Structure 1
Amino acid sequence: MSKSLLPKNIAELKAYSSAKSEKLTGTTWLNANESPYAKEFKLSLGNLNRYPEPQPEYVIDAYAKYAQLNAEQVLMTRGADEGIELLMRTYCESGKDSIAIFTPTYGMYKVSADTQNIAINELSQSLLLNADVSEICASIGGAKLVFICNPNNPTGSLTPTSKIAALAKSLSGKALVIVDEAYIEFCPEQSAAPLLQDFENIAVLRTLSKAFALAGLRTGFLLANTELLAPVRKVIAPYPVSTAVAMIAEQALNTDSVTQMRRQVSILNRNKDSLKTLLSNSPKVTQILSGEGNFVTLQLSDRSFIETAMQQGTIMRPFSLYGEDNWLRISIGSEQELEQVRLWLEQPE
């Protein structure tokens, strides 16, 4: 009976498969692009009988300062995923409008679009990186939202901000350019946030899940100018941010915590360089996608090597890419965690 009530697009929906959706057992977790750093936070929760601020002013102000924007350009969301969903719900008409994505890329753009019966114009990362702006815009066609994951997950590739600006200029009045900067702390000079001073049709997605080491908090931000954000503010749930989340986010964004985050990013970037050296010297690895972010994506000579790693308790993220199933994404962990990767790589084949 319940199946007969489902809309066709939901009945046929292929759900997003996150790194945590499989029940795996292991001791070294390098599969979800999480930070290896944990931190203690203080909570005093004597007021949970009251609703929270819809947009907690102290968190918004702190993030605006961090992002070098004005407070009215910042909307706090439940992870960057809610920002993706909100933009589609606000700007796309179900069964009529479309979005453009550049694959391979983050899978939630497709899931959110499919959920809301929004068509997807699936273009390639190669087109985004190598074609000129006029060719890209012609391929985008009538898409209302253009999603650029930058750095891109899972390839780590970067689209120059000059190209993002040129795309936004060319698409002015036709489409919004959405820049997903989940990994931007690992290459902050590449952020598109400064473009907001010149463009009304750019939005930037941010998260505290990666460099800020708060994947369990589910906190993100949507950055854009007032005119773009105003209708989104009408669509967002009335109380999207819990009191506890707001208190932790405020602490995570104070000056000392931001300094600590940047120090940790420097360590992780050094660890990434060490890992890439290890991988480049391994006969098990046939190709490394050199990119930004807190992960390295590589191709193995034999997919069975992944099983060996899992048996020793080292959990990484296998997936198919470019039509082949022998790809692996390794999150950058601590030196001790990456030592387990080295032991795996040096095991006899």
Structure 2
Amino acid sequence: MTNIALPNNIEKLKAYSSAKSAKLTGTTWLNANESPYARVLEMRFDNLNRYPDPQPQAVIDAYAGYAMVEQANVLMTRGADEGIELLIRTYCEPAKDSIAIFTPTYGMYKVTADTHNIAINELSQAQLANDDVDTLTAAIGDAKLVFVCNPNNPTGAMQPASKVAALADKLKGRAIVVVDEAYIEFCEEKTCVELIKEFSNVVVLRTLSKAFALAGLRVGFMLASEALLAPVRKVIAPYPVSTVVAQIAATALTSDAITQMRRQVSILNLAKKKLIQWLQDSEFVSAILCGEGNFVTLQLTDKQFVVQAMRQGLIMRPFVLFGEDNWLRISIGNEQELKQVENWLKQCQVTEEVL
């Protein structure tokens, strides 16, 4: 054991608990909002003895075309998580600055801020949804970065681009509004990406992990004005993207691959509607958050039903939300995987009747 003292913020740090952190065993995995569609690739590499392009031009060009922005507005990162970390590391001064978040939301905003000794102004999703922009701006206070997860994980809540624009306008010269669009392909018409052309203090984070079915690749993008990205380009690691990752990402962004992705999204969105109907018909589900994204978050009448699902090999994501520990997030899987959810719901009913 080392005798070297840790910085106080690291000593107190509570690490992010990902869906893969717990070494669970199961047969059906609906706990990490992954796509059920596996990509099969055949690729050859004869240049791995050379360092990669820090920002692979083919990928930048392809993503700029997909997102309908200029190439200069795109920065490729190791997942959207690195985008979060880069923004905090670039724009926030440790032990001085703060960020604002709207809970419940994605846990990495807090973990990253805590890691860098950045204070957190924790507001609620209800405030974000219901307060007018003047009230919100006052509540945000001196926060340097304002994270809006849109759609929000785990609630699925969605804020209209008009509200994000109004907030960015009020915060000009004071703060950067970071719109995390990890799940935007499931409701792409609601994107805020056009705002980066109007507001120099808006950043949009994207990923290939969800709809593009490449969670194992760890590819993300930061979309923003050239001026906002310039200091981030100074901070990012010199070779953040490997040659292998860049080539696979480029194949995922061809016209045919994007068409396939959208087809898969349509299938998953229809499957989600079917799942919601099953949940609505179950007497053991007391609340359903019918938001956007490839997941449904619900409240059970008894959290022990989760234990029953795990015994069947069905792995979903339990949550503590709004002070209650009987919430569950179910990722949208394929037809066979969701059939396991339907069977579980029916077996919960049988167990309850026997008791």
TM-score by length of 1: 0.99
Structure 1: which 5+ runs fail to align?
none
- Distance (whole Å) between structure 1 residues aligned to residue 123 and residue 156 of structure 2: 17
Question: Is the contact made by 1:42 and 1:248 (CA closer than 8 Å) also made in structure 2?
Answer: no
Q: Which SS does the other structure have where 1:339 is aligned?
A: helix
Residue in structure 2 matched with residue 114 of structure 1 by the alignment: 114
Instruction: Give the distance between the partners of 1:133 and 1:2, measured in 2 at CA.
Output: 49
Q: RMSD across aligned C-alpha pairs, in angstroms?
A: 0.7
Residue of structure 2 in register with 1:36 after alignment: 36
CA contact (8 A) 1:102 1:128 kept: yes
In 2, the alpha carbon distance for the partners of 1:189 and 1:173 equals: 28
Match of residue 278 from structure 1: 278
1:177 is the counterpart of 2:187: no
1:314 to 2:314 alignment: yes
Tell me the CA shift for residue 196 of structure 1. 1.3
Question: Quick one: distance in 2 between partners of 1:85 and 1:311?
Answer: 37
Letter in 2 for 1:343: N
Identity of counterpart residues, as a percentage? 69
1:97-131 Cα distance to aligned partner (Å, 9 max, x none): 00000000000000000000000000000000000
Q: What aligned pairs does 1:207-286 form with structure 2 within 5 A after superposition?
A: 207-286=207-286
CA deviation string 1:248-282 (max 9, x = no partner): 00000000000000000000000000000000000
User: Equivalent residue for 2:289?
Assistant: 289
Q: Whole-Å Cα distance in 1 between the matches of residues 195 and 235 of structure 2?
A: 25
Residues 209-251 of structure 1 show CA distances to partners (whole Å, capped at 9, x for unaligned) of: 0000000000000000100000000000000000000000000
Equivalent pairs, count: 349
**Aligned residue type for 2:123:** L
**Where does structure 2 lack aligned partners over 5 or more consecutive residues?**
none
Counterpart position of 1:67: 67
Aligned residue number for residue 97 of structure 1: 97
Question: SS where residue 29 of structure 2 aligns?
Answer: strand
Alignment partner, residue 301 of structure 2: 301
Write the letter of the residue equivalent to 2:12: E
Distance 1:277 1:35 in 2: 21
Counterpart amino acid of residue 188 in structure 1: E
Structure 2 match to 1:130: 130
Q: CA deviation at 1:3?
A: 5.1
Bigger mean CA deviation after superposition, 192-201 or 97-106: 192-201
Tell me if structure 2 keeps the 8 A contact 1:168–1:201. Answer: yes
The answer for the alignment partner of 1:139 in structure 2 is 139
Residue 346 of structure 2 corresponds to 346
- Distance, in Å, in 2 between the alignment partners of 1:240 and 1:196 is 24
Letter of the structure 2 residue corresponding to residue 291 of structure 1: G
Which runs of 4 or more aligned residues in structure 1 lie more than 3 Å from their structure 2 counterparts after TM superposition?
Answer: none
Q: TM-score scaled by structure 2? A: 0.98
Instruction: Measure the CA separation in 1 of the matches of 2:26 and 2:206.
Output: 29
